[in-house]
Amino acid sequence: MDLQGKRILVTGADGFIGSHLVEALVAQGYQVRAFVHYNSFNRWGWLDDSTDEVKQSIEVVAGDIRDPFFVRHAVQDCSVIFHLAALIAIPYSYLAPHDYVDTNVKGTVNVLQAAKDLAVEKVIHTSTSEVYGTAQFVPITEDHPLQGQSPYSASKISADQMVISFYNAYQLPVCIARPFNTYGPRQSARAVIPTIISQIANGQKNIQLGATSPTRDFNFIADTVAGFIAMAEADTVMGETINLGSNYEVSIGDTAQTIARLLGADITITTDEQRLRPEKSEVNRLWACNQKAQKLLDWRPEYGSIEGFSRGLQQTIQWFTLPENLSSYKSCRYNL
């Protein structure tokens, strides 16, 4: 699918992945409408940190993904939708599960219904590796069973199933991007890599973490964004779900030690009880099989393997340790 000349809507454009995706689309000369969450300060989230060239090149609409009327307004005249708007913090989902249903499930239905009614040519919906729960086999393929081990993951499973239902019932041209643990500059303070970097960069020697034995498949932001764009351009992905992962597994504890080494710090790790998930809710192992992405998208992560992970971490550390960025992260507090 040739994206040139088509208006592209990015929901959640003010967030971590969304802002990087908007910048990449603009860099490739695409016409972008950025859907950001309405606020009375007229702030565009991380898009406020984009270059003037990017900000002048995009159309920004501020609203709420939970409002079907505004969503329809945002979708009007768009040919392609990248749907990223979601609540993503797992700990907060234990406290506010209704919000996750309203935003992640009903918000997705709003996008799908508008796309159907307005004859959108393609919708790329954002899933998450959390829908797999603790791996029953590795590496995890797209056929792995889905397990709702937190209200967050349950809401994303529900949203994914709504996407599939619109494909089956209405032939809506949709596909599902399932990124594994994306990291990089601008990531939320609730994620583990920013948690580790910000604590060390602020001079803390005793690093407060939750469980350190679980493993993750960390995917650098540039690779995730490249995967999203490849899905939009591909003609072979309608109705498909595709993992975007590095095919490299590393524990949280080893990740912390790698970051400490790159920062030249000597650290000890202490378990902070409030950071632990309920026992049956912890996802103990995630490791992506990315063969389907290679086959259908010709996508391969440039930051896979231990060497690529170190390069991605170095770029992430470089951004987080700039004083103007580090000051935005409250390393002394646990972020839900």
Of the candidates 100, 152, 167, 303, the residue annotated as catalytic is 152
Tokens of 209: 């973490």
In the three-class reduction of DSSP (H, G, I as helix; E, B as strand; rest coil), residue 265 is classed as coil
In the three-class reduction of DSSP (H, G, I as helix; E, B as strand; rest coil), residue 102 is classed as helix
Q: Where are the beta strands (DSSP E) in 258-312?
A: 268-271
At residue 83, what are phi and psi to the nearest 5 degrees? -100, 105
> CA 215 to CA 309: how far, in whole Å?
14
216 neighbors 250 (Cβ within 8 angstroms): yes
266 neighbors 260 (Cβ within 8 angstroms): yes
35 neighbors 65 (Cβ within 8 angstroms): yes
> CA 281 to CA 278: how far, in whole Å?
5
Over the range 270-291, which residues count as b (16 or more CB within 10 Å of their CB) and which as e? eeeeebebeeebbbebbbbbbe
Cα distances (angstroms) measured from residue 201 to each of 2, 21, 195, 325: 43, 27, 10, 11
Tokens of 4: 């040139």
Is position 132 annotated as part of the catalytic site? no
Active site residues: 152
